[in-house]
Structure 1
């Protein structure tokens, strides 16, 4: 159950990728489904918190895979290049690479304008798409002003995997900053590495954050 976490994007006018960047901190909920190669399909629902300032992403929820339900917490700490994954109260740690982008992918191209719901209670959205090597992604974003946007949904597929994530209840700020601490029962020893077993590696990582 690897990265479910979160990702939200507040969509601005997007003249360039940097015209659509999410707030420095935000929280809410996300639901994800994922299938890769011959691995089992995975679905989950999480509470999420994201901090570009701290370079950390947190999520907590339940995941269904392999005919079982798992209670999962995940913390991505990009300052340390480490992921902390707690599954049914057991901790796994592993190295991560890269960094949080903070904005919609620079390759994203505007596709169309539309809305959720119906008049008069509708939410205006914009859809963007882009590809990376064998990957193709589409994102639905909402403009929240001042060059900021929030992601409402993102989907992607390649020759070996497909994933879909939706977001709701997003709001600026993080109510409890303690969620960005190393989760219990993970060790504080930064040299400790305890890779998760293969069947837990199929929760997609929201690397578009």
Structure 2
């Protein structure tokens, strides 16, 4: 697989239901098929309504990390706990317009915070620089509650320039779809992003 050859750490897979976000992508059968091609960890980002109904299927299909949107969960803490009970790492995602304080009560049941740096639903969008402050705030909050093990992931509009700013603000995981898949060399693109 080309991403393994490029020495990517994870494969980030966006799942969209056409309701929570306007776009529609694939479900567990496709993830299961991809899983048979690689041992890289799957970071499955569920941009779907009522994710608690679906997390078990995605875990069974091969997800190692399951990230749900705070905005899509009726009972966020219960959903994150459910993900962990399934043996996956639990991530919570926030859209650009959602304040980071909305996840303060789930600090003890998360492994990852995904901060959307574009409005979710479509690739190739322009990075929203106001999210840099949110990255800093989340990092400070995680330090304050003693959860420096929680990864801060950013997704959307990631380029060399925006990656550098995100890492400086506290991000430790970069989702760089267009920056990698539009590059002439996956390996060179991954290597460049690792430099931050």
Question: What is the TM-score of this pair, normalised by structure 2?
Answer: 0.29
Greater share of strand: 1
Question: Which structure's CA Rg is the greater one?
Answer: 1
Greater share of helix: 2
